[in-house]
Structure formats: structure tokens, C-alpha cells
Amino acid sequence: MVDERCRGNQIIFNNQCSIINFQFMEKRKFDLEDRFVDYTCRMIDVVEALPKTRAGNYIAGQLIKSCNSPTFNYGEVQAAESKNDFVHKLGVVLKELKECRTALKIIRRKEMIKPVSKLKDIFSETEELIAIIAKSISTAKNNFSG
């Protein structure tokens, strides 16, 4: 919808005319998408490094599903059909990231991959992605309610 108050590349945002740098927004969107893709690839390496034992196979099976889910669901977030759908899909991403975190804790505690220090960076990335998505959910809820 065109607003007579705005010109050129300005749009209404928070009831004011704002200049939106769509190239910057597009780049940032794909930066997080690429980060999720990299995360999934790294988690697949963790899955492949698990021992071929009953416990290792079970955790590998759970982890292969939960480590792919945030990436695929983030793609769905970008195509959300409503505000509620957007928040819901972000919630699914968050839930799956937390499942990955729990699996990594078990793997570390049971020393299923040695040395456990190999898991430090992927665990940190999991925590960072959880924080980003949790904050995104909070921000979206606040923006949508106002």
C-alpha cells in the first residue's frame, strides 16, 4: 500500500516514513540462513563421529533429525503466512535447537566423542543460535502486539 507521506524507497514502519535498505536486509537474511546451513553441516559431522553402539546409534538418529530441522524450518520462517505463523515457526526452530543442545550435552558428558573439547565450538554455536532465535521470538511478539 502506497502512503502519500512517503517517497521513493521509503515505506511506513512504526507509523513513520523510513528508508529501508532492502539489499542489506536481503544480505542479513541469507547470512543467518547460511549460518544455519553451516550449523547443520557441522552437526552432521558430529553425528558421523558418534560410536557405532546402541546408544551412539540412538543419539545419532535423534540428532540427525533435530540438527536438520532448524535449517529447514528457518526457510519456512522466511515464508510465514501470518504474524502468528512467523512466531510459531521460529518456536519450532528454537525447540529443535534446544534438542540439539541437549544431545550435545549427553555426548560430552558420556565422552562419546573424544576429546570432548572438539565439541566446544559447535556447542557455542548452538547456544548463540538459541539466543538469536529466542530474542527474535521476543522481538516479534513485542512488535506484533503493539
| pLDDT tens-digit readout, 24-70 | 444 444 599 999 999 999 999 999 999 999 999 999 999 999 999 99
* CATH number of 138's domain: 1.20.1440.60
- How many independent structural domains does the chain possess? 1
Among positive and negative, which fits the CA dihedral 23, 28, 34, 36? Answer: negative
**Is 54 part of a structural domain of the chain?**
yes
**Is 36 part of a structural domain of the chain?**
yes
**Is 5 part of a structural domain of the chain?**
no
**Is 137 part of a structural domain of the chain?**
yes
**Is 63 part of a structural domain of the chain?**
yes
**Is 6 part of a structural domain of the chain?**
no
- Decide if 11 contacts 28 (C-beta within 8 A): no
Domain extent at residue 63 = 23-145
Other CB atoms within 10 Å distance of the CB of residue 17: 13
Give the global pTM: 0.78
Give the pLDDT band (50/70/90) at residue 145.
confident
**Is 13 part of a structural domain of the chain?**
no
Give the pLDDT band (50/70/90) at residue 8.
low
**Is 14 part of a structural domain of the chain?**
no
Lowest mean pLDDT among 10-14, 63-67, 128-132, 139-143: 10-14
